[in-house]
Structures are given as structure tokens and as C-alpha cells.
């Protein structure tokens, strides 16, 4: 088995409400909260990771991403966003050393 790490960079919003911070990743319609801004940020990262891995495990990730309006971009951004309005979510996988299927594109 080989360890593979995908990283997803997504925009987030964190809003202060009375007694709590609400965190949102609107492009996936995933939300969380925390008593501090740092905890709300950590919780949205975990919620997004669980959402993506759950969709992958159920075999619905491609359908969900398309439903959320995702499409393949013609080019990658030259620079990764570094401000606090984005999160980087690691998605770890284990893969066999070879794939038995071919791409059906």
C-alpha cells in the first residue's frame, strides 16, 4: 500500500455571533461553529474533511461536487491563497501499488 495525500483549498467565512463563532464553507454548503475563531476554523476543516471522505466512501463525491457547481478548471492557480479566508484540508488515502482499471474518459 502507498500513502497518498490530496489537499483541498477552499474559501471559508467565519462570523462572530453572540457567544459563538459560526464557520461556513459555502461552496460545499458545510457549516460548523466554535467558541473561539480558532476553534471554529479547526471545526470547519474537520467538517469539510469528513464531508469529502464520506462522499468518497459512499461513491457520490463526483455527483456532489457537480451538484455544488464544481467543474474542471483549464489551469491551476499560480499561487495558493494564503489568507485566513481559505482553508487547506488534507485528505489522506491508501492506494494499492497499481490500479487495475483504466480511465473511462
In the block, residue with C-alpha cell 491551476: 76
C-beta of residue 31 within 8 angstroms of C-beta of residue 103? no
Structural domain span for residue 57? 2-74+84-92
pTM of the model: 0.84
Residue 100 lies in a domain: no
Residue 79 lies in a domain: no
Residue 97 lies in a domain: no
Residue 105 lies in a domain: no
pLDDT tens per residue across span 39-68: 999 999 999 999 999 999 999 999 999 999
Residue 35 lies in a domain: yes
Give the total number of structural domains in the chain: 1
Residue 105, pLDDT above cutoff 60? no
Residue 69 lies in a domain: yes
CA nearest neighbour of 52 among 88, 87, 23, 91: 91
pLDDT tens per residue across span 18-42: 999 999 999 999 999 999 999 999 9
Q: Residue 45 sits in a domain of what CATH number?
A: 3.30.160
Amino acid at each position: 500500500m502507498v500513502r497518498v495525500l490530496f489537499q483541498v483549498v477552499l474559501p471559508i467565512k467565519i462570523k462572530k455571533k453572540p457567544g459563538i463563532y459560526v464557520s461556513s464553507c459555502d461552496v460545499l454548503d458545510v457549516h460548523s461553529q466554535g467558541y473561539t475563531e480558532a476553534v471554529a476554523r479547526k471545526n470547519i476543516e474537520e467538517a469539510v474533511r469528513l464531508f469529502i471522505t464520506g462522499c468518497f466512501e459512499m461513491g457520490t463525491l463526483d455527483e456532489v461536487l457537480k451538484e455544488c457547481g464544481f467543474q474542471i478548471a483549464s489551469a491551476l492557480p499560480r499561487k495558493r491563497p494564503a489568507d485566513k479566508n481559505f482553508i487547506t484540508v488534507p485528505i489522506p488515502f491508501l492506494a494499492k501499488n497499481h490500479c487495475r482499471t483504466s480511465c473511462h474518459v
